[in-house]
Amino acid sequence: MATKKATLQYIEPIGGRVLVLKDEPKRETKGGIALPEAAEIPTITGRIVTISQQVAHDEDVPLRQYDKILFHPKNAIPVDFEPDNQLFVVPVEDIVAVFRNDKPGKA
């Protein structure tokens, strides 16, 4: 009897975590210097795809879906959907910055 392989359609992070689509790694600096493949950058940027219910209801955590963030990859958990996957479940405490167009409180 053949078994049908289940496919995941949606991932919902649990607890104080968000699902992030990691940006492509930079291969060159702004000055034009090529970076080696093995060069490790301690922080990575990406876009939040989904936030957990806990994060959504936490007024002290100013994160929203589609925010561009800077995060430390140490505790990020890769989500294996496809071979070239760039999805990671990231704990909120590893997010070090959120990119905004305006300062908070400005209209």
Among 55, 69, 64, 61, which residue's Cα sits nearest to residue 21? 69
Which pLDDT tens digit goes with each residue over 28-57? 556 666 656 555 556 689 999 999 999 999
Among 59, 67, 60, which residue's Cα sits nearest to residue 90? 67
Fold of 17-22+41-99: 10 Kd Chaperonin, Protein Cpn10; Chain O (2.30.33)
What is the per-residue pLDDT for 42? 60
The tokens for 86 are 């760039």
**C-alpha span between 81 and 83 (Å, rounded):** 7
What is the per-residue pLDDT for 102? 78
Residues of the chain predicted below pLDDT 50? none
Global pTM?
0.73
Helix, coil or strand: residue 104: coil
**C-alpha span between 78 and 20 (Å, rounded):** 10
